[in-house]
Structure 1
Amino acid sequence: MPDAPTAAAKARRRTQVKVLPPRQRHLVSRFSYGVTPALAAQVRARGGAEAWFDRQLKGTALRDPVLGRTKAWWPDLGRGPESLWQRSVNGTRGGWEVMADYQRWVIARRTTSPLQVLETMTQFWENHLYVPTNGEQWFVHRVSYGETIRRHALGRFADLLRATTTHPAMLIYLDNATSTASQPNENLGRELLELHTVGREVIDESDVKDSARILTGWSVDMWKTWKASYAPEMHSTGRVRVLDFTHRNAAADGREVTRLYLDHLARHPATARRIATRLVTKFVQDAPAPALVDRLARVYLRHDTAIVPVLRALVASKQFRASVGGKVRDPIEDVVATYRALGAKVSRPTSSNSAANAVLWQTQALGATPFGWPRPDGTPIDDAAWSSTSRVLASFQMHYSMAGGWWPSAQVKHRAPASWLPRRRLRFDALVDHLSRSLLHRPASRRLVQACSEAVDVRPGERITRDHPLVKWSMPRLLTTVLDSPDFLRR
């Protein structure tokens, strides 16, 4: 008979962080902002990663207890467009300040929301149907625009496309709010085709011109009430043709032709392929496998632009299963994942230096802020854009500041160094394994143990207690070494 386990062995098992099997970890990691022990416990409670994912696909039908609470941290996010504009004009608070608060709220949601799949898909669509936050006019509608996308993020793309194309933030950003029958502005008509739906490869300038004409009439009362409206007198009538969509467009009220046109674009095979390609690039690999793109496009069309069946087909594919460790976290995802991994608890900000506010500067230092990309094509989603030496060095610096609890330090609770010890006494290599399971959600590799040993000058077999110099002085360096590993920089 085998020997009975010793008391020490039993203690090790009790304190060992339980990690998800690799395949489950991969799924949860791709569709969250970092697998934590708490998230893994939720996944196990749901019966595994696939069951967790399936429930998460219900999106806004599920309760999010932190959404309203975190939004209340920044009161201007609850103001209407006319109030925001007046406060900007009279110098109370500028649009850029309000938009900085919106960026911070987005980061807070990604860090704390239990609806991780909804937040990831909101990020995906808010980047695809892009309206930046650095706008002097459309800022008054930008919060509403993001909330509109969040409501539709796991619904049908046809509904999402109609809601975003005619939203006042988009109308102002791409100049449709002032587009008239005599002088149609082509910006929205062009980007609707080139970026949001079919892609520039299948269109020509005549398509762009008629696309712009169809969209005339959708307006915003700029500089006054900022209310969105439809102005028939601004609509350009007469026959239109865009790709294989044709319409007499005889009525002064062009809202019906707009609806038909957008529905046609949403269901176009080229749109299906473009969306499938973007999803594969974001969640699988930078060079999308044509077979997977074709399969997802067919699912998209077969289910009348519904996104959930496409996501289910994506995660069930062999290409997704084979893509473990193949995607790099962008700067914002890195910052969010670091807060989650280290268990930093952020509270309502009371000053500019508060962590909930300073987190925006942390993402900026790494090279990107939410919706800070200046062009209408959205922040890059490929690995190459975020794999430069300067980005990696900036991540290393951020990891070290966070691991030490040095900055930000206001309105945030960092874990004490000794709290990382799972037991009162253990070997150094066992501590590294514990940290790897806690921060990377995987057992420590020999390579990681060696790197950590060299980083803090402690032998693998050395015994660590709360009074050890490592715990007193070098724990930030040890934590940083784990966070700087390729396994953390990838998702």
Structure 2
Amino acid sequence: MQLWNLERARHLLTRTLFGYTRTDLDQALSFTSAADFIQQRLLAEEPLPEPPGSWVSEAPVPNNPTVDGNRYRDFTFWWLQRMLSERTSMREKMVLFWHNHFTSERDKVNFPQHMYQQQALFRRFAFGNFQQLAKEVTIDPAMLIYLDGRLNNRNAPNENYARELLELFTLGIGQYTETDVKQAALALTGWRVEGLNASFNKASFADSPKTFLGKTGNFTYSDIIDIVFTKEACAEFLCRKLYKEFVYYKPNEAFVKEMAAVLRQGGYALKPLLVFLFTSEEFYRPDYRGAKIKSPTELLIGTLKALNITNPDWGYIAETGRILQQQLFNPPNVQGWVGQRDWITSTTLPQRGSFSDSLINGRRANGQRLPFMVDALAYARSFASAEKARLFVSDTTQYLLQTSLSAQKLDFMLETLLDGTTVENWSTNTPMADMRIQKFLRTLMRQPEYQLC
């Protein structure tokens, strides 16, 4: 791919970040090519953040729901802040991708320390090696709790993790047999959770030959992962999921196979695959732009970025995410959030509109004041075209929407901004200009196109 311009930069940022600011866009366009920006900024390795509190290294204390609930709250706020301040790094987007791939639910994991450890693992492996990540996740305390690996022993094998490992994490349905599940479960025996850590108890391990996916040996969990990753279906499974997340919800299977070849050739290192994907013409196809429905988290954080709000009420943001059906650390089931059309219902669509309204009005849907809101005049004046109504409408719609509005809709948006005055008389210095700008922004963000990225 050679072409690198505003349109492509906007598409890349909206798919790989939780929204973007105009500063982010300027930074992306300061690079001479997409490949340079992707390698030097989007996928750059950055220092790991400080944890949300010293509690992450404290031994879990059973039956302490108030303390654990407060820690999950602080952990959620901390992660949302990471997303808002990510600049042009894709790392937090990948952390959420892995959280939705190797799912764990807080209601079962219970202890926030374990969930933090798992997220820290996802952050370390955000652009890392998929095969090694699968091994690490297999003996991760949160996963051992969530899918009952800690209950798996040679005398009473538990197949929960073995089944999901094959069905949802690596191969997909049709690529293994029930016997493979049972034999994998035996190889996964012996692991327990003690305090913060996972430990191996050899006395609970099925120390005997297993036959798995056509191979026989006294396999351990690591051997099982290695065998799984010899199958072509494994690379295709992950690439299909990445394609659906970042490109289009209906995979182009021929291109998925190209992606899988890159992944296998790189020994399952993710970064070369992401560079290949985000520099491909397939990714930038015009019919894919604005074809993805924003997840609640993309909507929430992206709207904060779009309106230059840097210090929101995180309790309100997190609660809105829950209402919109994406409570972080609590996916609906082991399949995670399906996304796309599942995000929009007759209930959640109006609630999405109420959220963007609230950032502009400074009030919740029930009328209660929020401690933050957009400064409408300052926001409008941050655009060079602020005093030219028609151009201002064009600039803001281009910035806030990933699809172009029809001429009729643009005229409607202009009329909304003018609110009875004329183009010639428009100025941000006239009385009630702030109210007009608020009305314009509310109307623009309630357009169906605003729900797309």
Common fold: TM-score over 0.5? yes
Q: How does 1:68-467 map onto structure 2 within 5 Å? A: 68=50, 71-72=51-52, 75=53, 78-82=55-59, 85-86=60-61, 89-90=63-64, 93-135=66-108, 137-221=110-194, 225-249=195-219, 257-322=220-285, 323-346=288-311, 355-381=313-339, 383-407=340-364, 412=372, 414-421=374-381, 422=383, 426-440=387-401, 446-455=407-416, 457-458=419-420, 461-467=423-429
Q: Is the 8 A contact 1:344 1:415 kept in 2?
A: no
Q: Which moved more, 1:166-175 or 1:366-375?
A: 366-375
Out of 120-129 and 41-50, give the one that drifted further. 41-50
TM-score, with normalisation over the residues of structure 2?
Answer: 0.89
Report the residue type matching 1:335 in the other structure: L
* 1:485 CA drift (Å): 3.1
Q: Does 1:482 align with 2:444?
A: yes
Deviation (angstroms), 1:24 = 2.3
1:135 and 1:21 mapped to 2: Cα distance?
45
CA distance in 2, matches of 1:42, 1:63: 20
**8 Å CA contact 2:387, 2:428 repeated in 1:** no
Q: Secondary structure of 1:228's partner?
A: strand
Rounded to whole Å, the distance in 2 between the matches of 1:101 and 1:281 is 31
SS at match of 1:236: coil
Per-residue deviation, residues 61-95 of structure 1 (Å, max 9, x unmatched):
2247xx43xx54xx36x43251xx33x6356x343
- Equivalents in 1 of 2:216, 2:224: separation in Å? 9
Flag the 1:419–1:175 CA change in 2: closer, same or farther, 3 A.
closer
Counterpart CA distance in 1 for 2:435 and 2:8 is: 37
Structure 1: how far apart are the matches of 2:341 and 2:140?
Answer: 33
- Which amino acid is the alignment partner of residue 318 of structure 2? L
Deviation at 1:119, TM superposition (A): 1.5
Measured after TM superposition, the shift of residue 296 of structure 1 is 0.8
Specify which of 31, 38, 41 is matched with residue 46 of structure 1.
31
Structure 1: gaps spanning 5 or more residues: 1-18, 250-256, 347-353
Question: Tell me, which stretches of 5 or more residues in structure 2 are unaligned?
Answer: none
Task: Map 1:51-62 onto structure 2 (within 5 A).
Answer: 51-56=36-41, 58-59=43-44, 61-62=45-46
The offset of 1:425, in angstroms, is 7.3
Residue correspondences, number: 443
Q: Distance in 2 between matches of 1:266 and 1:458?
A: 64
Secondary structure of the 1:202 match is coil
**In 2, Cα distance between equivalents of 1:134 and 1:460:** 56
**Per-residue deviation, 1:446:** 2.9
Distance 2:432 2:201 in 1: 69
Task: Tell me which amino acid in the other structure corresponds to 1:246.
Answer: T
Identity %: 24
Q: From the superposition, tell whether residues 90 and 106 of structure 1 become closer, same or farther in structure 2 (CA, over 3 Å).
A: closer
Deviates more, 1:195-204 or 1:465-474: 465-474
Q: Which letter does structure 2 place at the counterpart of 1:310?
A: L
Which whole-Å CA distance do the structure 2 matches of 1:277 and 1:425 have between them? 43
